[in-house]
Chain A
Amino acid sequence: MIEFENVDVTYPGGFKALHDISLTIGDGELVVIVGLSGAGKSTMLRAVNGFVPITAGSVVVDGVHVESAKPTELRELRSNIGMIFQTFNLVKRTTVINNVLMGRLPAVPRWRSLTGSWPRAEREKALDALERVEIVEKAYVRASDLSGGQQQRVGIARALAQDPSVILADEPVASLDPVTSHTVMRDLRRINRDLGITTLINLHFLDLARSYGKRLIGLRAGELVYDGDIADVTDETFRDIYGRAVTPDDLLEGAEL
């Protein structure tokens, strides 16, 4: 369970990224967050795992207050939250499995993580995660040798290897082509259904949001302007979120409009 209560985030420069956000996300939900760039989508995700400190209100994840958590508590919390990035953030000069094993860092003693001597059980877990995104055959390939879509699947596997209860996906398909975008979104939905992992996805393509989301959160200039079932969403809603009419640029397959 993730609870936002009157959350404000103001960056050191004075920029107000989030203003008075209150909402609750239940366990196992799949939530899509949409909004223009700069609307606060990324900030909202990063407030969940404490990457962005909130300036007012409270964020509670599985009963833990993120804003007041001590460093050890915060690390404990983060080990239950997988994160997926727009630019994949893989270590390119090492193998796929080493990247996935990063998800197991908190689970092993320090000497093991520093020397890179991973126990067999952890390696198995990493391979399991790779199997789930159907890329296990690439386990010992250098990450830089993979295509964009494959790299993002490794990113998902790294998050899965954590055995997380929450997955935060920050624009997971923004650097991918339409076909692989659908593959990655399908993977995320499947993981959400099969494993019951609460999943928050930032998107800026409306058609993707419609086809894969269940619940939609709309942000505009740091304020919550929509929160509800995706089935009830109309073009009017998107106009509200975007402050303008929907254009082909807002759709992954722009021609369909």
Chain B
Amino acid sequence: MSEVAVMRPAPPRRAISLMPALAVTTSAMALVGVVAGAFDGFFWGALLAAALVLGLRMAGERPTSLDGLAIGSTLAIAGWLTNRFLLDAVELLTPWVAVEVAAVWMVAGGLVAWVVRRHRPSSNPAALMAMWGLSGLAVVAMPGVLERLTVEDGKLGAATFVIAGIAIALVAGSATLAAVTGVRGIGIGGAVFILTWFAGARVGFTLTGLVDNFANIANIPNFWPPDFSWAIGEGVWWNPVSWDFGSPTLANPLIETFQIGIIASVLGCLVALPVAFMASRITTPNTPTYVANKGFMNVIRTIPDLFWAILFRTGVGVGPLAGVLALFFFSLAIMSKLFSETVDSVDTGPLEAAKATGSTHFPAVRSSVLPEVLPNYVAYALYIFELTIRASVVIGLVGAGGIGRVIEAQRGFFQFDRVFAIVIVMLVIVFVIEQVSVYFRRRLV
């Protein structure tokens, strides 16, 4: 019997090997944009095909010229069809157009998959098809592209082609690479990219828009220099005998903010303790209790803090009580969620030991699970306090007391120098609280 040598496993293919192909596609797209802006989608497809063939070669495949021709013609047709759909689309992306485009690209993807499969039987044609379909969708959803295409003269600028080129190259490249190498992470990365892009396109998010709008901050009247003398006030700041605060402008609302934050986070964390224990599979006494608490947690977590504030402002009137109630539910929602997940991950051995002594449920949980999760609990509580201080500024804007109300009032008077001063003061305070809380949390867990 001859001895069989143990083969060393080959190192996995690196995603980087397709990068030159992506660069070629992108620059080629730009070239099309500059030289032949008037040409239709035929070029898109042809270029894509060229990049794909190049990519396959770089990934170690050897597509024949017949393969190249098949890929090229299919993609050219697909690109041309897509372009037609895009040009015909009067409104922004209807579902039907998206489906049609995706279908065309899936056919194209299927062909590519078939070619790839001939060279590498292990690759997954279905995944490849799906990825190509998605990439077709991504092209349709691309911000700006659709808009520009519906412009009367129908010509596309070089910049648009660059963006389109990057997008197509990335999604198609990642899909191909995922299928060819079998490294699924690339495909997942591509899918995340497409989803992000798609979401951005739907809400009309563009980087230029962001920059333009951000520059509008300069138009806010007289916000500079910040009016610290107003914020800090004059005369005696604090009388330690009578506990009076001399500067009502900022000190008192700030203290109110703290008070709201402390009351809300302490009460919220206290109530969250039993709720979290009963909403964890490990420590719940029975299934109905588990379902009830889990449901309660989910319901209060669904309602955002600002909505709680509006709710209680209507319910109990404008003022700090509304803020306390709103932030109580806010901190209860977050704390119970965080803490019940910590309880979920606790070692069940000590609880079993406590049950083995014949203890009833809650004393057993108290003595075996609570000590293990208590440091996490305190750490979360500090974090919740941090959150409530920040959130109390926001909910103050809708009239729930605290510093937020002062910000809202000064903004109403167009006193932006004062608003700016408050923002800076808050920035410093929140930063300090955060540092202190981080310090203690690090020591605890």
Contacts and interface: CB of A to CB of B under 8 A. Distances in A.
Interface of A: 49, 51, 74-83, 85, 87-94, 98, 101-106, 110, 113-114, 116, 155, 158, 162
Given A91-B368, A102-B367, A77 B358 contact: yes
Contacts, number: 86
Which among A83, A85, A91, A114 has the greatest number of chain B C-beta atoms within 10 A?
A91
Given A91-B372, A93-B374, A106 B367 contact: no
A152 to B, nearest CB: 12
B350 interface: yes
B367 A85 contact: no
Say what secondary structure dominates the interface of chain B.
Answer: helix
B365 to A, nearest CB: 9
B444 to A, nearest CB: 11
Interface string B362-376: 111011100110110
Interface residues of B, number: 21
Nearest to A46: B356
A114 B362 contact: yes
A4 to B, nearest CB: 19
B354 A105 contact: yes
A102 B357 contact: yes
Contacts of A78: 355-358
Contacts of A92: 372
Nearest to A142: B371
Which among B358, B363, B374 has the greatest number of chain A C-beta atoms within 10 A?
B358
A190 B374 CA distance: 37
Contacts of A75: 358-360
Contact of A51 (B356, B363, B372, B374): B356
7 closest Cβ contacts across the A-B interface? Answer: A79-B358, A78-B358, A105-B359, A89-B349, A113-B363, A94-B371, A89-B353
Given A91-B372, A94-B371, A110 B362 contact: yes
B355 to A, nearest CB: 7
15 contacts: A75-B360, A80-B358, A83-B357, A85-B349, A88-B349, A89-B349, A91-B368, A93-B372, A98-B371, A102-B354, A102-B367, A103-B357, A106-B357, A106-B358, A155-B353
B367 A98 contact: yes
Contact of B359 (A49, A51, A90, A102): A102
A91 B357 contact: no
B372 A113 contact: no
B352 interface: yes
Given A101-B367, A113-B367, A91 B359 contact: no
Given A51-B352, A85-B349, 12 more contacts: A81-B356, A83-B353, A91-B350, A98-B367, A102-B353, A102-B357, A102-B359, A102-B367, A105-B358, A110-B362, A113-B367, A158-B357
Interface string B158-180: 00000000000000000000000
Interface in B350-407: 350, 352-360, 362-364, 366-368, 371-372, 374-375
A89 B357 CA distance: 13
Contacts of A82: 356-357
Contacts of B354: 102, 105
A78 B375 CA distance: 31
Given A77-B358, A106-B359, A89 B367 contact: no
Contact of A76 (B358, B362, B363): B358
Contacts of A105: 354, 357-360, 363-364, 367
A12 to B, nearest CB: 16
Contacts of A77: 358
Given A89-B349, A89-B350, A91-B371, A79 B357 contact: yes
A43 B362 CA distance: 26
